[in-house]
Amino acid sequence: MNSVASSIRWVLKGKSGTAAMLQTLVARLFIIGLNVATGVITARSLGAGGRGELAAMTLWPQFLAYMLTLGLPSAIIYNFKRHPEEESSLFSATLLLSSGLGVVAALVGVVFIPQWLSQYSPAVIQIAQGFMVTAPLALLSLTLTATLEAQGEFTIANHSRYLLPLSTLLVLVGLAAVHWLTPLSAGLAYILPSLPVTFYLMYCLWQRLHPTWQTIGQSCRRLLSYGIRSYGVDLMGTLSQQIGQVLVVGLLSPTSMGMYTVALSLSRMLNVFQSSIVTVLLPKAAARPIPEVITLTGRAARVSMTFTLMIALAVMLLGPFLLHLLYGTEFAGAVQALRILVIEVVLSSTVWVLAQAFMAAGRPGVVTLLQGVGLGLSVPLMLILIPPYGLEGASLALLLSTLARLLFVFVNFPMVLKVPPPSLIMTRQDYALIRSTLGKKG
């Protein structure tokens, strides 16, 4: 029993790379459970049409905020590692830049949402515009989390990740219990919890870093110098992850939007291994020698792909049962889209882990081009495939663009880093290292 308790304490409080990855994995799994619960409640209470309206209302604050990061999350991690003596000033610059960019995102949303949601009712459009007030909070929360990760404070960062969906779930349960659950009230349940969570992150970091403003100009230049070069990574990443929803909103009915949202959300749960590994990989690998970066990235990619593939096969087999059990018969039409999206997740998660090698080596421009290749294919493919094939067309467009990104990232290992791409087949050494590392507990 003491050994088990010691292992649990190590996972929850340890700061080694393995402990941080496991902390993040546990948090992501918890978040997946919370997201499943919120998805079930909203889908069964609102139906496919209501779920589509809810997605249309709540999509834009985070989407537009993440579109305007100017590469700050990656720049924060890189510069905190490169210039640890300037942490207080860098934190001040983070607050200033992310707040200003968040306000710009909010204004963009208010102006353009009526055009993007032209097939929705005026009430839905007005609510979506009102929700844009939370865009600055979305961007601020993202950069504050990156700051915590740059300091190795993965425990606090993970707390913030699950507090948001946990708060949303509690509010949704209360609304459903009193029969007040509508697209508007559900939207508020998703949007409003960002306020206390962001202030929680702000309080934690303010106590640690004590921001100073004397060299704010230099710190802003440092962040923007790296951030502008890596901005394409954030921009293309956001577009590649959410362009399907954005285009489906504009091309299909609320009912189809509801089914696509459910299939996409269920498939994206498989990202748990990739997101947990990437969260730790970049801070651990940043600014290291190239051979160390390649070794860390290759092992991470193999582990991520192996575990993701095992779960993907189960989801593909059980897809119809899962959709019926969780969301109801109204969502049965999303089965084929789900299976295509599951295959896409396995490949895209592997691509994103491999891309961290270029980020850690100070070559974010390569990752920008990588994402640009995927986006440059996915948008025209969606415009071509969605009208005749609907949900399946959107899913297939994502899969084809991801295959192109995988080829691109493999080609750039020898071209840019002058090393062969790492193998994606798990080795005995990988299994042995995992077992020995877990056995060390630290």
Question: Residue 407 CB: number of other CB atoms within 10 A?
Answer: 12
| Short-list 67, 57, 73, 56, CA closest to 108 | 67
Question: Residue 442: is its pLDDT beyond 50?
Answer: no
Q: Number of C-alpha atoms within 13 angstroms, CB side, residue 230?
A: 25
pLDDT (average), residues 352-371 = 82
Question: Residue 441: is its pLDDT beyond 50?
Answer: no
pLDDT tens-place string over residues 34-83: 888 998 899 889 988 898 899 889 989 989 998 899 889 889 988 888 88
Burial 263-281 (b: 16+ CB within 10 A, else e): bbbbbbbbbbbbbbbbbbb
**pLDDT band at 316, cuts 50/70/90?**
very high
Q: Where are the alpha helices (DSSP H) in 181-327?
A: 183-191, 194-209, 216-251, 254-268, 272-285, 290-327
- pLDDT for the residue numbered 10: 45
Question: Residue 126: is its pLDDT beyond 50?
Answer: yes
CA 282 – CA 82 distance, rounded (Å)? 13
Share of the chain above pLDDT 70, in %: 88
What one-character DSSP code corresponds to residue 418?
S
pLDDT (average), residues 178-202 = 92
pTM over cut 0.85 = no
Cα 51 from chain centroid (whole Å) = 21
- pLDDT for the residue numbered 8: 45
What one-character DSSP code corresponds to residue 252?
S
Token pair for residue 346? 């396995």
Find out whether 327 and 39 touch, Cβ atoms under 8 Å: yes
pLDDT (average), residues 395-411 = 91
pLDDT (average), residues 355-361 = 85
Q: pLDDT: is 376 or 132 the higher one?
A: 132
**3-state class of 120 per DSSP?**
coil
Domains of the chain, by residue range, sit at 2-440
Question: Residue 209 CB: number of other CB atoms within 10 A?
Answer: 18
Question: Residue 18: is its pLDDT beyond 70?
Answer: no
Cα–Cα distances (Å) from 260 to 125, 267, 326, 336, 425, in that order, read 20, 11, 15, 11, 32
CA 131 – CA 404 distance, rounded (Å)? 35
Task: Give backbone dihedrals phi and psi of 212, rounded to 5 degrees, phi first.
Answer: -125, 150
